[in-house]
Each structure stands twice: as structure tokens, then as C-alpha cells.
Structure 1
Amino acid sequence: MYESLTRAVNKINSYRKTKISNRNFLVFAAVVVGILSGLAAALLKSLTHHIEDFLQTGFHWQYKYYLYLLFPFIGILLSVLYVRRFIVKGKFETGLTPLLRSISGRSSRVEFHNIYSQIITAAVTVGFGGSTGLEAPVVTSGSSIGSNLGRFLGLSYREVTLLLACGAAGAIAGAFNSPIAGIVFAIEILLPEFTIPVFIPLLLASATASVVARLFYSEQLFYIVSQGWETKALIWYVILACLIGLFSIYFIKANQAVKSFFYRIKSPYRRVVVGGLALGALVFLFPTLYGEGYVTIKNLLLGDYNSVINNSIFSSYNEFPAVLLLFTLLTVFAKSIATLVTLGAGGNGGTFAPSLIIGGLLGFTLAYTINLTGLAHVNVGNFIVAGMAAALGSIMHAPLTGIFLIAEITGGYILMVPLMITTAISYLISRSYQKHSIYAKPLADAGELMSHEDKDTTVLRMMKLKYLIEKDFSAVEPQEQVRSRLSGLFKSRHNIYPVLTEERVFLGLVYAEDLFQQVLKNNAEQPVIFSELMQPAPQVLAPDTELQAVLAGMENEQAWLLPVVDSRGVFLGFVSKTAIFNKYRALLARQADYLA
């Protein structure tokens, strides 16, 4: 069956290559990816909201509200059970880090099950109250659609990567009804060096996905009432930007701490219990943490400032502005912890939506405080919108995505200048603390990130010494007589020979020049053994040595070859500059193909 399908696909590819240019075919494939990713976005939103509606309004029981303490736990447990039960052969990963890893080191391969498994696990996680967003899962689903379609059609690495980015762009466009933001997201996060040939497929995929998703959800996510912005308020936007920039640093540190905490818990079910119950307690104290949390921001933009504290156990104090401000500020910190706990416990989601909620609440807190104290009078809605853009840009290190996404989903293009100022400043503050985003940092630490600021270092860190070891060398033993091996050694294509024990423990090196000198002496009365000609190696390498250190050692010792041994001293082979440079050129060509 599989062979027949493969032959059919090959025939189709051969036919279309003769009838359709590759560029035109990619445009057609991008439209298909856009349609499918738009459907994926609509399906995820619909499924999640149906679960939420059922639990909140369709499910009736006398003690139903006590279950709100357990709903997040149930959602995370269902997600973990699904992964462990149905994803046996593949690997399930959440967030955008796996996508970046796929592009950098896995030939843009995203496993097929992500098309549906991301939707299922995210829907139950968020639908049952997990305090995270749907955007990262739907981006992974869309990217998997593009990746698998490209590989099914037998496309090259560059073309598969482009379709992967089209799927991601379509997912963002479909989730937010924001085609421009979808394009910017794909370019800023997945395709860091923009080239003109990728623009048209991205544009068509994003626009198509937006149209498809709009058939199911035509309502604008947020509405903002604004008459514009005033120049005298710019200083307050700068202050907001600084606050959000500092908060993004806190979020980065909290992300590392929470991840480390859950990493130490080995049992996945114990993680579910610890995280699920902690999340339930947070949602009980701060009801706005339930699910994505967009409803709260929508109400704030409509002027319902008490919506933050309403439905909580502190709702009776909503008449006191100071209590409202304190509760909102606590909600901001609680939202960040709740999001990280949801993900650490095994739920599926991302930090996209939480970033928007956090930024919006911080913008509201500052603007409401300014108006309350009489320091000035500012438009609260403007600051909520600016805070959302700034938080997204600084936490995700995607300032352009933050600006265009917020401008599109709020209809607030009139606020472009405040959006740009707050986002740029907060992003610079965040980047001054950590160069890479929370998604890219794990790859950067592992040397797997495709960076274009320092191509030499990036390419060398992508290479692994253990894959460059050459093993076709003639080895000699220390007590062997030289003349007994001369004929075979001189036929070798190398001019250096490792001296090994019977257990293949490395002792040293013998060079061809010394053998020639021995032949010229031709003293048969005093036979020479290899240990007498052996010299110590300039440097001995371990198989996990970084290539930068290897090249530095070769340069210092003026050596073209260096031996590689394991932890027991057993000889594994040699690594040569030739092998390193050949692999380096191959990876550079691959990067050029990726950016073409």
C-alpha cells in the first residue's frame, strides 16, 4: 500500500514538474496549507469554547462550583493521559522551541500527529481552565500541516521550511483574524532573514487562513474606543514600557524556576497532581485566570473595570479603588505563575495569550492609577492596548508581531506611535537581560539555534565532533617491528599512524617522515619497533569536544589531524580539518538554501 502511494506521488511530482514551475506550485501549496491551517485554528477555538461553555453554563449540579478547584487538574490529567496512551511511537512537545529545533536541525520535519494531537490536548487543557493560550498549539498544528504536505510531495528542505512557515502564519491569522500579524510572526520568529520569494506564499497562506477561520468566527476579538493619543501622554507610555520590560525579565526568571521545579518531579502523574491542584487554588482565588482570559481584557476595554475582581471571593470590595488596583496587580503575577504551572504540569498551550493578558492588566493598572491620583488624565483603553503589544514583544522577543497583532485585533491603527514606542523600549530592556527569547534560549544553550548574527559560530555549534571522526587509519602496535609493516603503511593514503595496545588504548603517533628516515638508514642488524619512533599527540580530543575548541587546538598546535579517544582512552579515530571544513561548507549551503 505504502509503496503504491509512493509511486503515485512520484508520478504526480514528475508530471507537475514538467507542467508547473516550482514557484507557481509553491503558491498553490501555500493556499492549501492556508485553508487547512485556518480550519485547524477554527476547530481548536470551537472545541475549546464548547468545553468552556458546557462546564460553565451547560453543566448543572448542586455542588458544581466546588469542582472549579478540580477542573484545571482534570484538564491537565486528560492531556497527559492522551499523550501517554495515543502517542507511543512519536514524541510530543509543546511550545515554539520544538519548531525552531525542527528548522535548525531536523530538516523542518514536524511529526504528523501534531496536526491533531496539539488541538486535542490544548482544547482539554484550556477548556477545563488551564491558564494558558491556544496560539502555540495551533501554530504547531499549522506548521505540521505545512511540513508534512511538503515532505509528502517530495519538496526540498527550503520548500518544506517555507510551507512550515506558511502553516504557522495561517494559524496565527486564523486564530486572531489578523493576516498581517500572521506574516510578520512567521518572518520574525521562524524566518529571521526575510527574502522576497517567501513573501507571496506567506501572504496567500495567511489571507486564506483568515478567510476560512472568519467563516466560523466573524466577531472581532477586542474593541477599543479611542479618539487618538496625546503627545503629553508619551512620558506615561515610556513608564509603562519600562515596567513591562522589567516584568518580562521577572517572567523569564520565573519560567526558568518553574521549569526547574517540575523537572525535578520525575513522575508525570505527580506533576499533574502538584500542578493541577496548585492551579485550581489560583483559579479559585483569581477567577480571571480561568482559560485564556480574553474576556477580562474585553470587559476592561468596554469600561467595566470591576470585571477583574468580580466573581472572586473579594468581589464585595469592588467599591474600593485601592483594593481593585492591588487585586489587579496580584492577578498579573498570579497569571504568569498559573501559565508556567499549567505548562510544567503537563498541560498544552503557550505564552502568547498570557502575554497579552499580563500586558493589558499592567496597562490598565498604570492608567487607572494615573487617573485616580490626578497626576494626569489618560485614556485607559489606549494603555491597555499598548501594554498588550509591549508584553508580547518583550516576553516573546517579537516586537513587530506585537505591534501589528494588537493594531489588527483591536482596530487601533491610530495608536501606532504609542504601540511602537512602548514595544520597542520594553523589548530592548528584555533583550538587554537575555539575548534570546524563552523559546530560542534552550536551542542557543545547546548550540542548535540557527542564528544569522554570527554564522561561523552558529554553524560550528551545530556540528558534532562524534559525527566527523574518520576511522580508516592504519594502526600499529608498540612492539611491532617497523620493517614488517612498511609495505602496508606506505600504501596507506595517510601519513600518520596511531599506536595502540591490543585493547586499542591510544599511546601515541608515528609519522611517515620518521619511517622514511628509518628506511634510509636500512640498519637490519638493529631492528626498530614502533614504540621507538612513537611521539605524543599534540592534543587528544574527547568525542563531545566542541568544534570551536577543536579548531583552536589545531591552530595552536599547527596540526591537521588530532586523535579522538573515549573516557577509557580507547582510540575512536581522527578528526581532520578537511572533514570539519567539508561539513561546514555543507551546512552553509543548507542555510543558504533555507534563506533562498
Structure 2
Amino acid sequence: MREKLLKRLGYINQWRMQKISNRNFLIVLAFLVGIVGGLAAALLKGLTHFLASTLQDDIEWHYKYGLYLVFPLIGILLTVIYIRKFIKGKKLEHGITPIIYSISRKSSRIEIHNIYSQIVTSAITVGFGGSSGLEAPIAYSGSAIGSNIGRFFGLSYKEVTMLLACGAAAGISGAFNSPVAGMIFAIEILLPEFSIPAFIPLLISSALAAVVSRILYAEPLFHTAATEWEVGSILFYLLLGLLIGLYTVYFSKISQKVKTWFSKIKNPYNKVWISGISLGVMIFIFPALYGEGYLSIQQILDGRFDSIVKNSLFSEYKDIAWVVLCYTVLTLFAKSFAALFTINGGGNGGVFGPSLIMGGLLGFAFAFGVNQTGLIQLNVPNFVMAGMAGALAGIMHAPLTGIFLIAEVTGGYTLMVPLMLVASISYLINRAVMKHSIYTKVLAESGDLLSYEDKDRSVLSMMKLRYVLETNFVVLRPDETPVERKSDIIHSKRNIFPIVDEKGKLLGIIYSERLFSILLDEAEGKDKSFAVLAQKPADIILEDEKMEIVMTKMNKDDVWILPVVNSDNQYLGFISKSSVFNKYRSLLIRQGQYLE
């Protein structure tokens, strides 16, 4: 049955390729990706909140509140079990970084299981109280939808990439009911260099996803009514931008340290116990860390400033303003560790949501603290919203996404100027210290980042040495002489010959000019072995070296061709500037077509 269906779909696709151009068909597929992406977002939100409400409200038992401490551990454990048992032999990565890597290195291919695996695992993680967000998983799921639809219909790299971006935009749009932010997210994070026609598919997918998600799951992220901002408080918005910028630098650095620490733990179940138990202890002290954390922000936006302390061990001090302030600051820093422990310990989620929570808490602590001095009375909810935009802008290096997302989900377009100021300052501070965002740092260090600021380096990083390796050379043995190999030397189309022993190890090279000189000049000694005549190459290229290093070696000695060997010095072939330039040109053309 399945084979017949695929066969019929294949016939339909062949007819489509003859009748409809890929450019026009891309618009049709953008509609499809938007609808499916909206369904996925609604499903993820509904499933997560069903799990959360079932565990918190629907089950009546005497000790259930004590079990809140172990629910996150159970969620992370179930996530790891699902990954190991149901997607055997395949990787389930999380966050936005793998999506960017797929564009840079995998021709925008994302494995199809991510469409549902991201939804299942993130719903379990967050539904059981894991302190991470749903936005990165739904963006990943949406990207997988777009990528696989594009590949199924045989579209080109640039078209598959566009549909991948449409899927990510649909996921973010559906998650937040914010179509503009979804589109801008795709442009800022996934398509940093774009042309105007790229807006159309993104707009379609993002808008449709918001419509579908709102029909199926209409609950907004936040309920608030933003009020006009006062010109007299502009200095405090600038100070908040500075403070949040410094915090995003801290978070970016601590995230790398936590990730490195967890990577040293090889047993996945040990990661589960460490992260789960640690998370339980943190939630016991700071209950606001349970789950996504949006409820705490909503309570603050509603004016219940003592809510963050109200349900904690320190609830009896909830009426003391400075206790509320200090406890909020501690919760803020605890949130950074809780989110990172959840993600690196085996749970599935992202830092998108936690960024909003941390920014909101910092904005609240700042405005609430200033108000306690009596110098001025700031509008606390406005600073909470500005803080969320600033944190997103700094951590993700996406200021426009931060601005429009907060404006859309809070109805805070009246705060556009403060949002712009706080987001811009936070972004600039983080960018000054951290050249790359939390999503792209690892890729940049490994040379896998597609960068538009340094196109030469970016294109070189996309090359793999094995694709430019040339092997059609005449191999000479060390015990042979020029006379014995005269025919092969004369008829060779290459002007360089590797001298390789019986074990395959490279002993040296010799150029055709010298060989012809030897063969034509009897006094030179035609009977000398190649072991004696061998010349040392200007440099050696190792098979796992990056193309940027290869070009540096070639330019250093001004050579056109160099031998390639493995770690045991065994000869593999040669790499020439000609092959590199040809590959460079083809990649540049593909990159140029990226968003035509």
C-alpha cells in the first residue's frame, strides 16, 4: 500500500515538474508548510500543557506536591529512554544550532523523525517540569517539515533551504501566535542574507501557522495591556539595556562551561540523575523554575510582585520588598543553571524560552529595585517586557526578533522605542564580547558556520578535502629508476610524481622537468633510483585538515599543488589550487543562489 502511494505521488510530482515551475510551486509548498507547522505548534503546546495540568491539577493525591521535586527527573529520564529506544541509531539534537549546521553542511537536510521526535521529547521534558522552552524544538520540528517536503518534491538546495526556513518561521509563529516575529526569526537566524522575494514564502508560512495555531490552541502567551512609556524614564531603559547586555554575556559563557562539563559524563543515565536531582533541589528552593516559567512572568505583569516569593520557603517574608528583590535576583541566576542542566542532562528544549524568563526577571528586579529607592516610580510591567526583548536580542544575536516578538505577544507596540533601545544595547554589548551567538559559537569554532561577513572563509569552510582530492598521478617506487619508468613519465599528463614505498608511505616527490632533464642528459645518471632523486615537498597536507589551513600552506610557500597523506604518512593523492578554485566557484554560485 505504502509503495503504491509513493509511486502515485512520484507520478504526480513528475507531472508537476513538467507543468509548474519550482519558483511558483515554492509558494504552494509554503502554504502547506505553514499549515503543517501550525498544526505541529498547536500539538506541542496542547500536549505539553495537558501533561502539566494533569500532573498539577487533575490527579488528587496527598503527596503530589512533594513529587514536584522528582517530576523533572522523571521527564528527563523518559526523554532519554524515548531517544534510546525509539530512534535507535539516529541522533536527536536540540536547539537552533543543528538547524544552522544543516544549512551550512548538510544541504539543508534534516532527518524526518525530527518532525515528531522533537514534539514528543520536548513535551515530556517541559510537561514534567523541565526548566526549558518549547520554541527551539518546534522550530526544529518545523524546519524538518519544510526540509522533507522540499526534498520529497525534488527541489534544489536553495528551495529546500527556503522551505526549511518557512518551517522554522511557522513553528515560532505558531508557538507565540506572532507571525511577524516568526518571519524575522527565520531571516535573522537562518537566512542572514536575503532578497525581497524571500519575504513572500516566509510571510505565507508564518501567517498560516499563526492562524492554524490560534484556531486549535487560542490561549495567548501573556495577558497584558502595555501603557505609554515616559520620556523621563529613558535613562533607566538605557541602564537596563546595559545590565541585560552584561547578563547575556554571563549566560553565554556559563552555557559553554556547563555544556563542556556535561560532555565529560559519558553515561547518559548519569547525566539524567545529576541534572534531575540538581533540578529538583533548585525547584525546591525556587519554585518559579518549574516548567517554562511563563506563569511567573504573567503574575508579575498582572501586578502581583510578591508572587515569586509567595509559594516558596520564604513566603512569610513576601511583604518585605527587599526580600522579594533579592529572591528574584537569586531566581534569575538559578534559572540559567536550571535551563542548562535540563538541556544538557538529556532533556529536550531550548534557551529561547528561558531567555525570555531571565530577561523578564531582570527587568522586574531592576524596576522594582529602583522604585524602592523612592527616587522615581517606574512602570514595572513595561520594564519586564523590555527586559525580555533585551535578553533575546543579546543571547540569540537577534534584536529584531526580540523587539517584534515582545511587541506582538504582549500587545506592547506602544513600547516600541524602549524595546528598540534595550534590545540594541544588549545586542551590541554581547556582540562586542561574544563575536558569535550562543547558537553559532560552536559552529564558528569548528569552521562549520556559513558566514556572510567573511565569504571567502565561509565558502572554504564548506569544502571537504575529499571532494577536491586528485588521485590520477603516476606513482613511482623508491627502488625504480627514470629509465625503467620512461614510458609512464613521458605519457603522464601530470607534471609531478609521488614517490611511494611498498607500504604506501610518501617518501618524496619529483617534478617532470627534472625527470625530462635526466632522461635527455646521459651525464645526469639515468640509473639513479627515485629514492636518491626524491625531493621534499614544500609542505604536507593531512587528510583531516580544514581548507582554510590548506590555502594558508599553499600561499605561504607560493605553491600550486601539495601532496595529501593520512596520519600514518600514507600517500592519498594531491590537492591543487585549480581543484580548490573550481569547487570554490561552484559553492559560490550555490551560495549566490541561496535566496534569489
User: After the TM superposition, which residues 114-153 of structure 1 pair with which residues of structure 2 at under 5 Å, given as runs?
Assistant: 114-153=114-153
Equivalent AA in structure 2 for residue 403 of structure 1: I
CA contact (8 A) 1:471 1:572 kept: yes
SS state of the match for residue 482, structure 1?
coil
What do residues 301-344 of structure 1 show as CA deviations (whole Å, max 9, x unaligned)? 11111111111111111011010001111110011110000001
Shift of 1:587: 1.3
CA contact (8 A) 1:137 1:350 kept: yes
Q: Aligned partners of 2:241 and 2:207: how far apart in 1?
A: 31
Q: Aligned partners of 2:586 and 2:9: how far apart in 1?
A: 28
CA contact (8 A) 2:540 2:565 kept: yes
Task: Normalising by structure 1, report the TM-score.
Answer: 0.97
Structure 1 pair 57/526, CA: closer, same or farther in 2 (3 Å)?
A: closer
CA contact (8 A) 2:111 2:144 kept: yes
Shift of 1:472: 1.6
Q: 1:230 — aligned with what?
A: 230
What do residues 209-248 of structure 1 show as CA deviations (whole Å, max 9, x unaligned)? 1010111232332233343111111110011011100100
Structure 1 pair 525/310, CA: closer, same or farther in 2 (3 Å)?
A: closer
Q: 2:191 — aligned with what?
A: 191
Structure 1 pair 525/227, CA: closer, same or farther in 2 (3 Å)?
A: closer
Q: 1:20 — aligned with what?
A: 20
Q: Aligned partners of 1:41 and 1:554: how far apart in 2?
A: 50
Once the two structures are overlaid, the 10-residue window that deviates more, 564-573 or 81-90, is 564-573
Once the two structures are overlaid, the 10-residue window that deviates more, 493-502 or 98-107, is 493-502
User: After the TM superposition, which residues 368-517 of structure 1 pair with which residues of structure 2 at under 5 Å, given as runs?
Assistant: 368-517=368-517
Q: Aligned partners of 1:562 and 1:2: how far apart in 2?
A: 51
Equivalent AA in structure 1 for residue 430 of structure 2: S
Q: 2:367 — aligned with what?
A: 367
| Residue 88 (str. 1) matches residue 88 (str. 2) | yes
Shift of 1:3: 6.3
Equivalent AA in structure 1 for residue 117 of structure 2: S
CA contact (8 A) 2:481 2:526 kept: no
Q: 2:267 — aligned with what?
A: 267
SS state of the match for residue 305, structure 1?
coil
Shift of 1:271: 0.5
What do residues 372-408 of structure 1 show as CA deviations (whole Å, max 9, x unaligned)? 1111111111101100100111111111000000000
Equivalent AA in structure 1 for residue 298 of structure 2: K
Q: 2:203 — aligned with what?
A: 203
Shift of 1:4: 5.0
What do residues 125-173 of structure 1 show as CA deviations (whole Å, max 9, x unaligned)? 0011000100001111111111111111111111111111111111111
SS state of the match for residue 306, structure 2?
helix
SS state of the match for residue 68, structure 2?
helix
CA contact (8 A) 1:563 1:574 kept: yes
Shift of 1:69: 1.3
SS state of the match for residue 310, structure 2?
coil
CA contact (8 A) 1:225 1:381 kept: no
Runs of 5+ unmatched residues, structure 1: none
Shift of 1:5: 5.1
SS state of the match for residue 35, structure 2?
helix
Q: 1:577 — aligned with what?
A: 577
SS state of the match for residue 450, structure 2?
coil
CA contact (8 A) 1:171 1:182 kept: yes
Equivalent AA in structure 2 for residue 577 of structure 1: K
Task: Normalising by structure 2, report the TM-score.
Answer: 0.97
CA contact (8 A) 2:357 2:388 kept: yes
Q: Aligned partners of 1:226 and 1:448: how far apart in 2?
A: 42
SS state of the match for residue 575, structure 1?
strand
CA contact (8 A) 2:482 2:530 kept: yes
Shift of 1:199: 0.9
SS state of the match for residue 483, structure 1?
coil
User: After the TM superposition, which residues 582-593 of structure 1 pair with which residues of structure 2 at under 5 Å, given as runs?
Assistant: 582-593=582-593
Q: 1:566 — aligned with what?
A: 566
Shift of 1:570: 1.8
User: After the TM superposition, which residues 176-325 of structure 1 pair with which residues of structure 2 at under 5 Å, given as runs?
Assistant: 176-325=176-325
CA contact (8 A) 1:9 1:153 kept: no
SS state of the match for residue 508, structure 2?
strand
Q: Aligned partners of 2:547 and 2:395: how far apart in 1?
A: 32
Equivalent AA in structure 1 for residue 328 of structure 2: T
CA contact (8 A) 1:514 1:533 kept: no
Structure 1 pair 534/416, CA: closer, same or farther in 2 (3 Å)?
A: same
CA contact (8 A) 2:356 2:389 kept: yes
Q: Aligned partners of 2:444 and 2:297: how far apart in 1?
A: 34
CA contact (8 A) 2:95 2:349 kept: yes
Shift of 1:2: 7.0
Equivalent AA in structure 2 for residue 23 of structure 1: R
Q: Aligned partners of 2:505 and 2:23: how far apart in 1?
A: 56
Q: Aligned partners of 1:514 and 1:3: how far apart in 2?
A: 62
SS state of the match for residue 69, structure 1?
coil
**Equivalences, count:** 596
Shift of 1:499: 1.4
CA contact (8 A) 1:393 1:400 kept: yes
Shift of 1:525: 9.0
Structure 1 pair 503/219, CA: closer, same or farther in 2 (3 Å)?
A: closer
Once the two structures are overlaid, the 10-residue window that deviates more, 195-204 or 420-429, is 195-204
Shift of 1:543: 1.6
Shift of 1:67: 0.8
Q: Aligned partners of 1:512 and 1:6: how far apart in 2?
A: 56
What do residues 448-506 of structure 1 show as CA deviations (whole Å, max 9, x unaligned)? 11110110011112223344222221111222121121112211110111112222221
Q: 2:527 — aligned with what?
A: 527
Q: Aligned partners of 1:255 and 1:104: how far apart in 2?
A: 23
Q: Aligned partners of 1:107 and 1:529: how far apart in 2?
A: 48
Structure 1 pair 13/314, CA: closer, same or farther in 2 (3 Å)?
A: same
Q: 1:164 — aligned with what?
A: 164
Sequence identity (%): 55
Structure 1 pair 286/520, CA: closer, same or farther in 2 (3 Å)?
A: same
Q: Aligned partners of 1:388 and 1:296: how far apart in 2?
A: 13
Runs of 5+ unmatched residues, structure 2: none
Structure 1 pair 525/549, CA: closer, same or farther in 2 (3 Å)?
A: closer
What do residues 165-215 of structure 1 show as CA deviations (whole Å, max 9, x unaligned)? 111111111111111001000101111112112111111111111010111
CA contact (8 A) 1:317 1:323 kept: yes
Shift of 1:80: 0.4
Shift of 1:410: 0.4
Alignment RMSD (CA, Å): 1.6
Shift of 1:536: 1.7
Q: Aligned partners of 2:287 and 2:195: how far apart in 1?
A: 45
Structure 1 pair 562/43, CA: closer, same or farther in 2 (3 Å)?
A: same
Shift of 1:554: 2.1
Q: Aligned partners of 1:567 and 1:142: how far apart in 2?
A: 41
CA contact (8 A) 2:226 2:411 kept: no
Structure 1 pair 282/21, CA: closer, same or farther in 2 (3 Å)?
A: same
